[in-house]
């Protein structure tokens, strides 16, 4: 499993622009082990998306080295799936067609990719909606379809950039629990960017807090909640426990101080 370990050594990112360089990410050392659920929180503009895009291979580090297992990240790769903030489904394809698109591009035969798409549709609770077009689905359903479209490629690492940010509270909570179940059952590594400390604490085994510009990781906190073990899927009831509230306060204070 060490092949999936993500290792950043001195990774930084500076953007060039007309008004001069912007250091979005200061040199960062970070190791993410297989099976971790790591959330990244911090004030707007602190480099969360930059970090995720570096991990995704959409951006190149300005300095340092970024490895997944023994391999240097040199671009997007099939072992890393990315779920964006807004669903990016193809409007001219059915939901099933969208999910089959990745396997089709990889040359997976029709029967196999159809079966995989059906499994994914069931997994995200859209078994009845495979024939629909994206515009016929609610925002929450589109986001579930997008997650299915990423999962069907069986990435070992899932990178998520505020995937539930635009959803109503109820849908968001439902998808959070579904995501935790998936993470448990499929044994994935997840890196999850969010504005919400509550969401980060509820989902994660570890939370990174980033400071405002130049962005850097200022807190790296293990999250242990009542009832946690190696198999349990957290229940929303845990958010009412004193342990949860204490972690939330601790991290919110760190973010506030990072901002000041």
Strand partners, 12: 63
State how far the Cα of 168 lies from the Cα of 227, in Å rounded to an integer: 27
CA angle 254, 259, 260 (to 5 degrees): 100
| Rounded least distance, CB 207 to ligand ADP, Å | 15
Our CA dihedral for 235, 239, 240, 241, rounded to 10 degrees, sits at 90
Question: Binding residues for ligand ADP, per CB under 6 A?
Answer: 15, 17, 22, 24, 42, 44-50, 213, 215
Nearer to ligand ADP, 45 or 77 (CB): 45
| Rounded least distance, CB 19 to ligand ADP, Å | 9
| Rounded least distance, CB 50 to ligand ADP, Å | 3
Q: What is the DSSP string of 92-122?
A: TS-HHHHHHHHHHHTT--HHHHHHHHHHHHH
Nearer to ligand ADP, 47 or 155 (CB): 47
Residue 24 contacts residue 62 (beta carbons within 8 Å): no
| Rounded least distance, CB 180 to ligand ADP, Å | 23
Nearer to ligand ADP, 158 or 208 (CB): 208
Nearest one of 14, 170, 162 to 85, comparing CA atoms:
162
Nearer to ligand ADP, 63 or 239 (CB): 63
| Rounded least distance, CB 45 to ligand ADP, Å | 4
Nearer to ligand ADP, 42 or 87 (CB): 42
Residue 88's alpha-carbon distances to 50, 93, 99, 126, 139, in angstroms, are 19, 12, 12, 17, 11
């Amino acid at each position: 499993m060490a092949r999936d370990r993500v290792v950043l050594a001195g990774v930084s990112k500076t953007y060039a622009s007309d008004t001069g360089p912007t250091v979005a990410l200061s040199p960062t050392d970070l190791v993410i082990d297989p099976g971790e659920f790591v959330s990244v929180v911090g004030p707007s503009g602190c480099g969360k998306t930059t970090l995720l895009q570096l991990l995704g291979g959409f951006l190149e580090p300005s300095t340092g080295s970024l490895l997944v297992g023994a391999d240097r990240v040199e671009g997007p790769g099939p072992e890393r799936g990315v779920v964006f903030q807004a669903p990016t489904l193809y409007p001219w394809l059915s939901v099933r067609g969208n999910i089959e698109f990745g396997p089709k591009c990889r040359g997976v035969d029709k029967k196999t990719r159809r079966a995989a798409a059906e499994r994914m549709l069931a997994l995200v609770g859209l078994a009845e909606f495979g024939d629909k077009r994206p515009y016929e689905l609610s925002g929450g359903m589109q986001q579930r379809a997008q997650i299915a479209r990423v999962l069907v490629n069986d990435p070992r690492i899932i990178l998520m950039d505020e995937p539930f940010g635009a959803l109503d509270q109820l849908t968001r909570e439902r998808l959070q629990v579904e995501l935790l179940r998936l993470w448990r059952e499929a044994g994935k590594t997840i890196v999850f960017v969010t504005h919400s400390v509550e969401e980060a604490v509820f989902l994660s085994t570890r939370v990174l807090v980033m400071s405002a510009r130049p962005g850097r990781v200022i807190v790296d906190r293990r999250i242990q909640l009542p009832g946690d073990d190696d198999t349990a899927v957290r229940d929303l009831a845990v958010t009412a426990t004193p342990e949860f509230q204490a972690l939330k306060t601790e991290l919110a204070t760190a973010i506030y101080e990072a901002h000041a």
